[in-house]
Amino acid sequence: MAKITFITSDGNTTIVEGSTGSVMELAVQNKIKGIDGDCGGVCSCATCHVHVNPEQWDKTGAPDELENDMLEFDDNVSEYSRLSCQMKVSEDLDGLILTVAK
Amino acid sequence: MSSTTQNKVCIVIGASHAGVNFAFALRREGWEGEIILYDNDKEFPYHRPPLSKAYLTSEEGTEQSLLFPKENYKTDNIVLKLGIAVNTINKEEKTITLANGSVQQYDKLVIATGARPFLPPIQGLDLAKNVFPMRTAEDAINIRKTINKSLTKRAVIIGGGYIGLETAASLKKLGANVVVLEREERVLARVTAPVMSDFFTQLHQNNGVKILTSKNVISIENKDDHNVVVCDDGTKLNADLIVVGVGIKVNSELAQNAGIVIENGIKVDETAKTNDTDIYAIGDCTYHFNPHYKYHLRLESVQNAVDQAKTAAKAICEQEVVYDTIPWFWSDQFDVKLQIVGLSKGYNQIIIRQEEAKNSFSTWYFKDDELLAVDAVNFAKAYVLGTKFIKSKQKLDKSKISDLSIPFKPNSFLA
């Protein structure tokens, strides 16, 4: 079980719990505003972009090449950008804080 | 919203990408009344794109790829009525009639009936065993079962479009002997440039799939335990499994019979509304205007389904909205990820940028100086940058695009 905090663009903070699937799926399930996951989680639409709390970057690790390519030219990209469909929910992510990208 | 929707009923016909995304979007936009979704398909609404890809090669059911988790329908009070056909729409009475005869009243109706596979008039096709289209979870399961049960695993795919090629790649992974028969001179002829057709033909051949073009299937002969696929040039192929992927027919009859205007699909305006003020249509079944490209079209894609769904939800909740998107698509075959942005129709020049890595390149479609579309093969950067350039209509220096010595950055290619 992992508790993950989402901070949305309207400033709301939501803490959700999950144990399986991707972080994107967990967010959709909990109606986190700004996470759509239109492509179903195959790294094709970038509608699940989040910024990882910099201090927790080692929890999530860096994106792979495809994910990085999807993010590199995004207007709202940061050093700590990830596509949440490419992050698996596991106990390693317990306590993670994610800010939903605009 | 100016008027209360508390006691109103919104009915959606079709619970796939468009219908389901619409229902959740409508709730999000503030609709307080009932939302009822009907679909013929008994399966809980699932993602369709994986069917010909990962789903076919896995042992999983659709529970791994639901559009939304089951709980969300409950929490959003969206009523799903699955395995139920809608027979008629009466727009004067504002009712629909179900197959069981019961009548349901609506205040707003959304038609998201999509399309069905087109089965070509091939002699013997209707009697042949183990012939399937690839559209529903049931189709995918049937295909998977048939190939897993067969000892000889001879699969013939009629149609070399994306569905046919994706299915071919997945069947190859399952250990099948796969032949793709394409009527045109090249695969993907209807949707992409010759250079892309060549690439995918090569990719499939390198992976052991046989691609035969200019093959017009005229009949299927039924033997005891298999079929023989016969082409007009005399080619005969034994098949334990036949997959038909030659395109679709729009499910527009329900709308047509109700007196809704049909033009190459259900005709809708920029808010996804039909010629009836209380009836909207979304997704594959619609014929709509694209403001960027300035022509009407029908689109078979997840992007169109989801974005048109969001547009219709906003419109029904009385928000100002115009459907204005740059279409995007994707396809996965073997180790290749193809990402497409834009519509290449009408292009008169293509530029190819080949990256250093093999199997990694992009095709840029231009009409004179305007970038229309980009096909990115294992190179998502071109897809993302292409999207930006198409949207902004920035002038590009075409000669720079194919020049690998120029770094791949947003400002590198501007004229």
* CATH number of the CATH domain containing A88: 3.10.20.30
Q: Which chain B residues are Cβ-neighbours of A45 within 8 angstroms?
A: 303, 328
Nearest to A70 among B65, B306, B380 (CB): B380
Nearest to B303 among A38, A46, A70 (CB): A38
Q: Which chain A residues are Cβ-neighbours of B328 within 8 angstroms?
A: 44-45
Mean pLDDT of B135-162: 96
- Return all residues near B52 (Cβ < 8 A) that are at least 6 apart: B134, B140, B163, B166, B167, B170
Residue A68 has pLDDT above 70, yes or no: yes
What domain range is A66 assigned to? 2-100
Determine how many CB atoms are found less than 10 A away from the CB of residue B92.
Answer: 8
Mean pLDDT of A7-20: 94
Nearest to B72 among A29, A38, A72 (CB): A29
Residue A40 has pLDDT above 90, yes or no: no
pLDDT (tens digit, 9 = 90+) per residue, B40-70? 999 999 999 999 998 999 888 888 889 999 9
C-alpha A30/C-alpha B368 separation (Å) is 47
Q: Which chain B residues are Cβ-neighbours of A72 within 8 angstroms?
A: 381, 384
DSSP string over B226-259: -EEEEETTS-EEEESEEEE-S-EEE--HHHHHTT
Return the closest-CA partner of residue B261 out of B228, B288, B231, B243.
B288
Q: Which chain B residues are Cβ-neighbours of A31 within 8 angstroms?
A: 28, 72
**Among all residues of chain A, which has the CA nearest to that of B408?**
A73
The two beta strands, B361-367 and B349-354, are antiparallel
Nearest to B381 among A39, A43, A69 (CB): A69
CB contact under 8 A, B384 and A31: no
Which band of pLDDT confidence, cut at 50, 70 and 90, is reported for residue B1?
low
Using a 10 angstrom Cβ sphere, with 0-12 exposed, 13-18 middle and 19 or more buried, the burial of residue B302 is buried
B326 touches chain A (CB under 8 A): no
pLDDT of B224: 86
Mean pLDDT of B113-121: 96
B401: amino acid identity, one letter: I
**Among all residues of chain A, which has the CA nearest to that of B73?**
A29
Provide the greatest CA pair distance for chain B: 68
B55: amino acid identity, one letter: Y
Residue B204 has pLDDT above 90, yes or no: yes
pLDDT (tens digit, 9 = 90+) per residue, B11-23? 999 999 999 999 9
B71 touches chain A (CB under 8 A): yes
pLDDT of B3: 67
Domains of chain B: 9-116+249-316 (3.50.50.60), 131-246 (3.50.50.60), 335-401 (3.30.390.30)
pLDDT of B61: 81
Whether ipTM tops 0.95, in short, is: no
Query: Chain B closest CA to A19's CA: distance in Å?
Result: 14
Mutate to test the interface with A, among B21, B301, B381, B390 (most CBs of A within 10 A): B381
Handedness of CA B278, B283, B288, B290 (dihedral sign): positive
For tokens 């032949």, name the residue.
B179
Mutate to test the interface with B, among A8, A35, A42 (most CBs of B within 10 A): A42
Residue B2 has pLDDT above 90, yes or no: no
Query: If you average pLDDT over each of B62-66, B113-117, B354-358, which comes out highest?
Result: B113-117
Q: What are residue B203's phi and psi, to 5 degrees?
A: -55, -45
**How many structural domains comprise chain A?**
1
Q: At what angle do helices B302-316 and B17-28 cross, to 10 degrees?
A: 30
